[in-house]
A and B are shown apart, each in its own frame.
Chain A
Amino acid sequence: MEFFERFAIPNPSIAIYASMVAIGLTVFAIIAGLSYFKKWGYLWREWLTTVDHKRIGIMYLFSALIMLFRGGVDAIMMRVQLAVPDNKLLDAQHYNEIFSTHGVIMVMFMAMPFIFAFMNFVVPLQIGARDVAFPRLNALSFWLFFFGAMLFNISFVVGGSPDAGWTSYFPLAGNEFSPSVGTNYYMIAIQISGIGSLMTGINMITTIFKMRAPGMTLMKMPMFTWSVLVTNLIIVTVFPVITVALAMGTMDRLFGTYFFTTTNGGMDMLWANLFWVWGHPEVYILILPAFGLYSEIISTFSGRNLYGYKSMVASMVIISALACMVWAHHFFTMGQGALANSFFSITTMMIAVPTGVKIFNWLFTLWKGKIRYTVPMLYSLGFIPLFVIGGMTGVMLAMSAADYQYHNTMFLVAHFHNTIIPGVVFAMLAGLTYYWPKMFGFMLNERIGNWAFWFLSIGFCLAFFPMYITGLDGQARRMYTYSEATGYGPLNMVSFVGAGIMAISFALIVYNIYYSIRYSPRNISADPWDARSLEWATHTPVPEYNFVIEPQVASSEAFWDAKKKGHELFSGKPEKIHMPNNSGLPFIMSAIFFIWGFSMIFSLWIPVIISTIAIFACMLYRSFEKDHGHYISVEEIDETEIKLRGVN
Chain B
Amino acid sequence: MKVKSALLLLIFTIATVLTGCEPLMVLDPKGPQARRQAHDIILSIGIMSFIVIVVFAILIYVLIKYRESRQSPDYEPPHIEGNKWVEILCVGIPIIIVTYFSIVSVQSNYIVEAKPKGYEDKAPLVIYASSSDWKWHFSYPEENIETVNYLYIPTDRPIEFKLYSYGPITSFWIPQLGGQKYAMSDMITTLHLAADEPGELMGRNANFSGKGFAENMFNVTAMSEKDFDKWVKDVMKTAKPLTKEEFNKLLKPGHYGQMTFTGTHLGFNPPPEHHHSGAATEKNSNSDESNMDMNMDMDMSDHQNHE
Give A contacts to B, CB under 8 Å. 92-93, 96, 163-165, 169, 171-172, 176-178, 262-269, 272, 302-305, 307-311, 331, 333-342, 345-346, 349-350, 352-353, 356-357, 359-360, 363-364, 366-373, 381-382, 384-385, 388-389, 392-393, 395-396, 398-409, 457-458, 461-462, 465-466, 469, 472-474, 476-482, 487, 490-491, 494
Contacts and interface: CB of A to CB of B under 8 A. Distances in A.
Given A335-B189, A370-B77, A373-B68, 18 more contacts: A262-B185, A302-B77, A333-B180, A335-B184, A335-B292, A353-B94, A356-B51, A367-B66, A382-B4, A384-B55, A402-B44, A404-B37, A404-B179, A405-B34, A407-B206, A474-B204, A477-B208, A487-B19
Contact of B214 (A169, A469, A481): A481
Given A349-B98, A363-B58, A399 B11 contact: no
A329 to B, nearest CB: 11
Contacts of A369: 62, 66, 77
Contact of B80 (A305, A372, A398): A305
Q: Which 10 A-B pairs have the closest CB atoms?
A: A404-B179, A337-B290, A401-B108, A335-B189, A172-B168, A392-B48, A478-B208, A338-B109, A304-B77, A479-B214
B141 interface: no
B25 interface: yes
A449 to B, nearest CB: 17
A303 B77 contact: yes
B19 A491 contact: yes
19 contacts: A169-B207, A171-B168, A178-B210, A265-B298, A304-B80, A307-B80, A311-B87, A335-B290, A338-B109, A342-B109, A363-B62, A370-B75, A385-B5, A401-B37, A405-B179, A469-B15, A472-B41, A480-B214, A487-B19
B56 A399 contact: no
A381 B213 contact: no
Nearest to A93: B211
Given A353-B95, A405-B26, A338 B287 contact: yes
A369 B292 CA distance: 56
B257 to A, nearest CB: 15
Given A339-B287, A385-B56, A399-B40, A356 B90 contact: yes
A562 B24 CA distance: 59
Contact of A268 (B71, B81, B186): B186
A399 B108 contact: yes
B175 A474 contact: yes
B82 A381 contact: no
B227 interface: no
A331 B183 CA distance: 12
Among A302, A404, A473, the one with the most B-chain Cβ atoms within 10 Å of its Cβ is A404
Given A96-B211, A465-B11, A304 B291 contact: no
Nearest to A337: B290
A408 B206 contact: yes
Contacts of B173: 476
Contact of B210 (A172, A349, A402, A477): A172
Given A356-B94, A396-B45, A482-B214, A385 B55 contact: yes
Contacts of B113: 337-338
Contacts of B49: 392
Contact of A310 (B82, B91, B187, B207): B82
Given A372-B68, A392-B51, A336 B179 contact: no
B182 A335 contact: yes
Contact of A360 (B8, B90, B109): B90
Contact of B179 (A372, A403, A476): A403
Contacts of A481: 214
A305 B291 contact: no
B179 A399 contact: no
Given A338-B113, A469-B19, A345 B288 contact: no
B259 interface: no
Given A345-B109, A399-B101, A165 B214 contact: no
Given A337-B113, A352-B98, A392-B51, A308 B185 contact: no
B105 A309 contact: no
Interface of B: 1, 4-5, 7-8, 11-12, 14-15, 18-20, 22, 24-27, 34, 36-37, 40-41, 44-45, 48-49, 51-52, 55-56, 58-59, 62-63, 66-68, 71, 75-82, 86-87, 90-91, 94-95, 98, 101-102, 104-106, 108-113, 133, 167-169, 171, 173, 175, 178-182, 184-187, 189-190, 202, 204-214, 286-292, 294, 297-299
Given A92-B213, A369-B77, A465-B11, A401 B26 contact: no
A333 B171 contact: yes
A251 B178 CA distance: 38
Given A169-B168, A338-B110, A305 B79 contact: yes
Nearest to A271: B169
Among A171, A350, A465, the one with the most B-chain Cβ atoms within 10 Å of its Cβ is A171
A345 B45 CA distance: 17
A400 to B, nearest CB: 6
Contacts of A477: 208
Given A171-B167, A465-B15, A405 B41 contact: yes
A401 B287 contact: no
Among A303, A363, A389, A480, the one with the most B-chain Cβ atoms within 10 Å of its Cβ is A363
A364 B59 contact: no
A466 B10 CA distance: 12
A401 B105 contact: yes
B71 A370 contact: yes
A635 to B, nearest CB: 42
A399 to B, nearest CB: 4
Contact of B66 (A164, A176, A302, A392): A302
